[in-house]
């Protein structure tokens, strides 16, 4: 039976550096296999849609611009993602990977949470299409 059996630990702690990390002033290294933001490569995508089907949080949406020429655009909703990497496992063409250095994803508006991946002209095409549909829908509601 003793009293103060952790006094040694306390004394040791006085002469040691604090274990807390100084984030955000010092950004610690993340391990190689860290699961951060989803990165999509539209060049290799075959458009099978398994990633969209398997995503547990409905964070992915795939737009087919031109199926014959394999032109696809991916809308990735960062705020919905749970970083489980199932999309990476499901992808047969290895077009999806999870970044190990992009993990500071907090934002003060919704805009940065909608990330479009794909060729520039394809993304523009998808955005224009979406704008047209939205305009059409609002006209219809005005008519009603």
Partner 1 sequence: MGSEKKPEKFVVSIGPQHPALKEPGHFEFGVEGEIVTSATARLGFVHRGMEKGTESRTWVQNLYLMERVCGICSHVHAMAYAQGVEKLAHVEVPPRARAIRELIAELERIHSHLLWLGVAAHEGGFDTLFMLSWRDRETVMDLLESITGNRVNYSANVLGGVKIDIDEAKISAIHKGMDFLEERTRHYMKVVTEDETFLGRTRNIGSMSLDLALRLGAVGPTARASGVTYDVRVDSPYAAYADFPIKVVTDTAGDLEARFVVRIKELYESFRVIRELIDHMPASELTTRIPRRMPEGEVVSRVEAPRGELFYYLKSNGSDMPERIKVRTPSLCNWGSVLSTAVGHKLADMPMILAGIDPCFSCNDRMVLVNQDNNLSTWSWEDLRQYGIEYYK
Binding site residues, partner 1, CB under 8 A? 1-6, 9-10, 13, 19, 31-35, 53-57, 82-86, 89-90, 98
Tell me the C-alpha distance between 30 and 50, whole Å. Answer: 29
Of the pair 10, 110, the CB lying nearest partner 1 is at 10
- Kindly calculate the radius of gyration of the chain based on its CA atoms and give it in whole angstroms: 23
- Left if phi > 0, otherwise alpha if psi is -120 to 50, otherwise beta: which for 73? beta
Of the pair 32, 120, the CB lying nearest partner 1 is at 32
- Closest approach, Cβ 61 to partner 1, in A, equals 16
Q: Which residues contact 7 (CB under 8 A, 6 or more apart)?
A: none
Of the pair 82, 93, the CB lying nearest partner 1 is at 82
- Closest approach, Cβ 126 to partner 1, in A, equals 25
- Closest approach, Cβ 94 to partner 1, in A, equals 14
Would you say the C-alpha torsion 81, 83, 87, 90 has a positive or negative sign? Answer: negative
DSSP 8-state code for residue 11? H
Of the pair 70, 90, the CB lying nearest partner 1 is at 90
Question: How does strand 114-117 pair with strand 38-40?
Answer: unpaired
- Closest approach, Cβ 31 to partner 1, in A, equals 4
């Amino acid at each position: 039976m003793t009293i103060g059996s952790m006094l040694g630990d306390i004394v040791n702690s006085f002469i040691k550096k604090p274990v807390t990390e100084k984030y955000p002033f010092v950004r610690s290294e993340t391990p190689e296999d860290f699961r951060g933001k989803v990165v999509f490569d539209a060049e290799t995508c075959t458009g099978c849609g398994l990633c969209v089907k398997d995503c547990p949080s409905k964070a992915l949406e795939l737009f087919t611009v031109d199926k014959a020429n394999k032109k696809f655009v991916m809308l990735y909703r960062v705020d919905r993602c749970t970083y489980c990497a199932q999309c990476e496992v499901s992808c047969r063409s290895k077009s999806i990977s999870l970044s190990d250095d992009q993990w500071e994803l907090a934002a003060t508006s919704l805009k940065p949470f909608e990330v479009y991946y794909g060729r520039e002209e394809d993304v523009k095409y998808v955005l224009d299409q979406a704008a047209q549909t939205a305009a059409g829908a609002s006209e219809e509601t005005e008519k009603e």
